[in-house]
Amino acid sequence: MNIPKVEGLIMELLAEIGEDPKREGLLNTPARIAAALDFLTSGYRQDVEGLIHGACFSQETSSMIIVRDIEVYSLCEHHMLPFFGRCHIGYIPRGTIFGISKLARLVDMYARRLQIQERLTEQIAYAVHDSIRADGVGVMIEARHLCMMMRGVEKQNSMMVTSSLLGVFRSNPSTRQEFLSLIGRPGTQAG
């Protein structure tokens, strides 16, 4: 990202909304926003292979592995306003497991891009599935969207829930139910 160019664009934006970008309180705002955007979009400069390199391990197990309540912070691609919540990931390995922190890092990598929650959920699920050829993967994200809370319909208590189920998480109702139970969510009948 060209930081000086972004700083100049922020100065122009401040002037366009009626502010004086040279007033004391705003003098460093363009630099702060550019640095924040650089961090909040750092996922564009990462890839799955580089992220998990060396952090997958051989382990013969057919047990479900779950990491739940991974914090998610992202920017909505429609308004560039934050959405935030929790991500729960479960998978059944086929001889290879992840180092536990890599699942949280996968969430961050995809969340640090302009996103919609539906795509974010799918990207995480497919990255887990494809990286270790898991027998099944379940990902659920529960998030609050500031674009819905502070503008538009202004519904402060709304929460969006998305899920992606692959392999046996989709085909086997008892596996799906076990995942939902272990992440602390009641099961539903799926058709």
* Strand 65-76, strand 114-115: pairing: parallel
Residues 124 and 109 sit within 8 Å (Cβ to Cβ): no
CATH number of this structure's domain 54-182, picked from the four choices 3.30.1130.10, 3.65.10.10, 3.30.70.860, 3.40.50.1980: 3.30.1130.10
- Answer yes or no: 76 catalytic: yes
- Taking the CB of residue 108, how many other CB atoms lie within 10 A of it? 19
pLDDT at 189: 44
What CATH code is assigned to 3-40? 1.10.286.10
The catalytically annotated residue of 12, 59, 71, 78 is 78
C-alpha 84/C-alpha 90 separation (Å) is 20
- Answer yes or no: 147 catalytic: yes
The catalytically annotated residue of 76, 88, 115, 178 is 76
- Answer yes or no: 88 catalytic: no
Q: pLDDT tens string for the chain (191 positions)?
A: 999 999 999 999 999 999 999 999 999 999 999 999 999 999 999 999 999 888 888 888 889 999 999 999 999 999 999 999 999 999 999 999 999 899 999 999 999 999 999 999 999 999 999 999 999 999 999 999 999 998 888 888 899 999 999 999 999 999 999 999 999 876 544 43
The catalytically annotated residue of 46, 56, 79, 177 is 79
- Answer yes or no: 78 catalytic: yes
Domain extents in the chain: 3-40, 54-182
- Answer yes or no: 117 catalytic: yes
C-alpha 97/C-alpha 131 separation (Å) is 10
C-alpha 82/C-alpha 91 separation (Å) is 28
The catalytically annotated residue of 147, 154, 156, 178 is 147
What one-character-per-residue DSSP string does 1-59 give?
--HHHHHHHHHHHHHHTT--TTSGGGTTHHHHHHHHHHHHTGGGG--HHHHHTT-EEE-
The catalytically annotated residue of 87, 117, 123, 129 is 117
Q: pTM for this structure? A: 0.91
C-alpha 74/C-alpha 76 separation (Å) is 7
Residues 164 and 106 sit within 8 Å (Cβ to Cβ): no
C-alpha 6/C-alpha 35 separation (Å) is 9
Helix (H, G, I), strand (E, B) or coil at 126: helix
